[in-house]
Structure 1
Amino acid sequence: MKLPTRFLFAAALAGALLAGPAHASVTIGGTRVIYPMAEREVNVKVDNDSRAPSLVQVWVDDGKTDADPGQSKVPFVVTPPIFRMEPQKSQTLRIMYTGEALPSDRESVFWLNVLDIPPKSAKASRANTLQFAFRTRIKIFVRPARLDGRPEDAPAKLTWQLVPAPDGKGQALRVTNPTPYHVSFSEFGVEDGSRTFKNDMGGMVAPEGATVLRIPDLAGADAGAKVHYVAISDHAAALPGEAPISAR
């Protein structure tokens, strides 16, 4: 993968770090960020669990995974944007909302990116050895005050329909979300009599929106089938549930 210019700048700085093994070492303290819109900032902790330092670059994007950090048009600033993490140390990231208009009747979603660039090893300097940078990307849910209902109740309010798969092969699930909250799934599937079809890749449906979720090999199911899902709470807890599939 070709790294954008700012990544290359960060990678060049990484050459100045002490030698060590190339592996993912910087971890984020959580699987999602809930950002109350009324707050001036939210803090996120990152840890370097390895025995070597790492160079870390941090930014927020709006869903475009290949956008350069400097090109992402988002209403957030993250500090520090680039820093060196010593072994077995932690760093607090400050995510600050800059005040641009966002919907006040539903959540908005953005993504926090943490790029971990390990130091160049002595072995890599002597031979043709690949060095890898590792990017972790988690969702930031921006939550206005006084939204209707509770986020943990949203999965049970979804409606499900069987629809033709977008590629014309088999069937898929159309899920409609009438709530003001995003609903994310770690897995979901269809039980149709003695047959079970499952998607372990997960998915997400936006507030007051709908999306089509693909399930491999799903075909021939009818409106009498049931959906089984595992939604994800604000604290990354599993919220299992089931729902009927309605006729189109």
Structure 2
Amino acid sequence: MKQSYRKCLAGGCVLLGLTGALDAQASVVVAGTRLIYNAKDAEVTIKLSNQGQSPALVQAWIDSGNIKAAPSDIDAPFTVTPPMSRIDPGKGQTLRVVYMGEPLPKQKESLFWLNVLEAPPKAAAEDANKLQLVLRTRIKVFYRPTDLKAAVEDAPAKIEWRLTQKDGHPALEARNPTPYHVSFTAISASAGGKTSTAVADMVNPQESRVFPLKGDVPAAADLKVHYTTLNDFGGAVDGSSMLQRDDAPARTHPHD
């Protein structure tokens, strides 16, 4: 039971309501870690499956990034159908996501979040003292305009890296000149047998982000950045890049 609880937290479940002794068992699984909505699509779908032993009540909605926003307060330009459903054990449910046409940037992706809220079945009398949890899973929804000039698979290699400082400590600055979000799951810098790591995260399109370095930070000369990113299917892709110089573009090696 403790193992399933840890897995739920690592997978992005949010614990929303608690009563009694712990009984956390996520049953509804979302088929994917991200949803790509191409502007030319009339709708996109994503599948849910109930891998538990009891029926599950599910509520689904999309928000603009505020994790505390209630479904009644959402302002994202998407509808999710069905917004509420019951999924029996071993069965599935397909969610239909439709863009409602509200103007969004045409030169870069926009980010939203799909929420899947799972309410547990009512506890039996003998389980009345167990903790009942409402579990929420959130995955990223990328709205992708048509006719973006760059290829999405080339975006990680186009990130420009510089050595900088944050709060007086060495850090890597990642500048994303592309129209795509680049999701990093691992970042490190190495040179001369020394390696320093950073806590990875996403860099928004046409923005920069600073990643503080930990460990033995190598000198800037010949420093190489190694990274892992996620592609449209949630697959891990490794790459590397030399530090950006002011007079030349970074040298990248997508498959090192």
TM-score, normalization: structure 2? 0.82
- Report the Cα offset of residue 72 of structure 1: 2.1
Higher mean alpha-carbon deviation, 63-72 vs 218-227, is at: 218-227
Query: Conserved in 1, the CA contact under 8 Å of 2:42 and 2:98?
Result: yes
State the number of aligned residues: 229
Candidates 239, 242, 256, aligned match of 1:241: 239
8 Å Cα contact 2:24-2:131 kept in structure 1 = no
Aligned residue for 2:243, secondary structure, equals strand
Letter in 2 for 1:43: T
User: 1:137 and 2:144 equivalent?
Assistant: no
- Look up the SS of the partner of 1:156 in the other structure: helix
Choose the corresponding residue for 1:72, options 53, 71, 74: 74
Give the Cα separation in 1 of the matches to 2:137 and 2:219. 37
**Unpaired stretches in structure 2, ≥5 consecutive residues:** 1-13, 247-256
Describe the shift of the 1:64–1:52 C-alpha distance in structure 2 as closer, same or farther (beyond 3 A): same
Identity %: 43
1:143-163 CA distances to partner (integer Å, 9 max, x unpaired)?
Answer: 111111210111111101122
Task: Tell me how far apart the structure 1 counterparts of residues 118 and 219 of structure 2 sit (CA, whole Å).
Answer: 44
Which residue pairs with 1:170 in the alignment? 169
Q: Which amino acid aligns with 1:120?
A: K
Per the TM alignment, residue 219 of structure 1 is displaced from its structure 2 partner at its CA by 4.5
Following superposition, the deviation at residue 64 of structure 1 comes to 1.2
- Whether the 8 Å CA contact 1:157–1:179 is kept in 2: the answer is yes
Give the TM-score taking structure 1 as reference length: 0.84
Q: 1:231 to 1:52 in 2, by over 3 A?
A: same
Match of 2:88 among 86, 89, 95: 86
- Note closer, same or farther for the CA distance 1:150–1:191 as it changes in structure 2 (3 Å cut): same
- C-alpha RMSD of matched pairs (Å): 2.2
Tell me, yes or no, if structure 1 residue 203 matches structure 2 residue 201. yes
**1:163–1:50 distance in 2 versus 1, CA, 3 Å:** same
SS of 1:231 mapped into structure 2: strand
- Name the structure 1 match of 2:148: 147
Worse overlay, 215-224 or 31-40:
215-224
Instruction: Tell me if structure 1 keeps the 8 A contact 2:195–2:218.
Output: no
The corresponding residue for 1:17 is none
Name the structure 1 match of 2:253.
Answer: none
| Structure 1 partner of 2:182 | 183
Deviation at 1:224, TM superposition (A): 3.0
**Structure 2 vs 1, CA of residues 126 and 105 (structure 1 numbering), >3 Å: closer, same or farther?**
closer
- 1:40 Cα deviation (Å)? 1.9
Aligned residue in 1 for 2:7: none
Name the CA distance, whole Å, in 2 between partners of 1:103 and 1:34. Answer: 16
- Aligned partners of 1:68 and 1:247: how far apart in 2? 46
The answer (yes or no) to whether the contact 2:15–2:135 under 8 Å persists in 1 is: no
Task: Report the counterpart of residue 251 of structure 2 in structure 1.
Answer: none
How do 1:11-90 and structure 2 match up within 5 A? Answer: 22-90=24-92
**Does the 8 Å CA contact 2:196/2:218 hold for their aligned counterparts?**
no
Give, in angstroms, the shift of residue 222 of structure 1: 2.3
Question: Does structure 2 retain, via aligned residues, the 8 Å contact 1:162–1:247?
Answer: no
Q: Cα distance, 1:124 vs. partner?
A: 6.7
Answer whether contact 2:28 2:49 (CA < 8 A) is retained: yes
Q: Which runs of 5+ in 1 are unaligned?
A: 12-20
